[in-house]
Amino acid sequence: MSDGSQGTHHGNAAPHPYHLVNPSPWPALGALAAFVLAFGAVHWWHGGTPLIMVAGFALVLTTMVVWWRDVVHEAQVEQVHTDVVRHGLRVGVGLFIASEVMFFVAFFWAFFNSGLLVNPSIKQWPPANIEPMETWGIPFLNTLILLSSGLAVNWAHHSLRQGDRRGLAQGLGLAIVLGFSFLGLQAYEYGHAAFHFRDGIFPSVFYMATGFHGFHVFVGACFLTVNFLRVLNGHFTPAQHVGFEASAWYWHFVDVVWIFLFVWVYWWGS
């Protein structure tokens, strides 16, 4: 997501305030990348090579880079992001986040279906053969880290509105460092877990819910990094910063999901 000035398209005044996007191969590439990533992950989990999953992950990163590049070009060079277009971008981001909420609702439903013993085959939660994560260890530290990163994004947003570019860069940079620190600690936690993905319903739901959240943290951290580079290039102004707003909304969504995961999966679930 990004933003820009009132609309000209390739140097000519547009006859309307809307942006008619040129045909792009990136949606098709993104769909292919998601398929290869999902197929590769399942193949790896069933004893195959992880190379297919790595290739899918590389395709996802490529899609992110080229698509963001094009949107930034539309905003800064073509200047087609008018007030109407920016409103549409905000609505689109809001609807996307709403769809992501429902995505995680499915994992929470799977967790509670077993955790509340609705499933008649489950007699104890967590199962007797499962040693849950230590709630007040790395999970609690990661909670503090992610919430602190949310505060850093708020600091950056406030600085942007005040025209303080130094504070904007510092807050955004801190949020990025904290986001990747969260991922490093989560990887360490996975490496020292007492259970594996195929050890039953508890590990399966645990790794799917927290793992997908970790992937969302990675995407959000990349989103913030793109905006950090844009800040260094002077792209945002106090009046026009839809790209930053989109990344901030997404990052706060990631924060809220983690709070639910910590409370219900790590604390209550243990």
Domain parsing of the chain, residue ranges: 20-79, 83-268
The pTM of this model reads: 0.86
- What does the block give as tokens for 253? 């969504």
Question: Partners of 9 in the beta sheet?
Answer: 12
**One-letter amino acid of 34:** A
The CATH code for residues 20-79 is 1.10.287.70
> Which residue is associated with the tokens 């399966």?
204
- Tens of pLDDT along the chain (270 residues) come to 444 444 444 445 567 788 888 899 999 999 999 999 999 999 998 889 999 999 999 999 999 999 999 989 988 888 888 889 999 999 999 999 999 999 999 999 999 999 998 888 888 898 888 888 899 999 999 999 999 999 999 999 999 999 999 999 999 999 999 999 999 999 999 999 999 888 888 999 999 999 999 999 999 999 999 999 999 999 998 888 999 999 999 999 999 999 999 999 999 987
Asked whether the beta carbons of 3 and 241 are under 8 A apart, the reply is yes
Apex CA 19: angle with CA 252 and CA 241, to 5°? 35
> Which residue is associated with the tokens 């708020």?
154
61: left (phi over 0), alpha (psi -120 to 50) or beta: alpha
- What does the block give as tokens for 76? 């800064």
Apex CA 249: angle with CA 245 and CA 252, to 5°? 135
The phi, psi pair for 258, rounded to 5°, reads: -65, -40
- What does the block give as tokens for 50? 């992880």
The phi, psi pair for 211, rounded to 5°, reads: -70, -45
The pairing of strands 8-9 and 12-13 is: antiparallel
**One-letter amino acid of 27:** P
In angstroms, the CA 150 to CA 41 distance is 30
Asked whether the beta carbons of 263 and 131 are under 8 A apart, the reply is no
Question: How is domain 83-268 classified at the architecture level of CATH?
Answer: Up-down Bundle (1.20)
Indicate if the alpha-carbon torsion angle 242, 243, 249, 252 is positive or negative. negative
H/E element, 8? strand 8-9
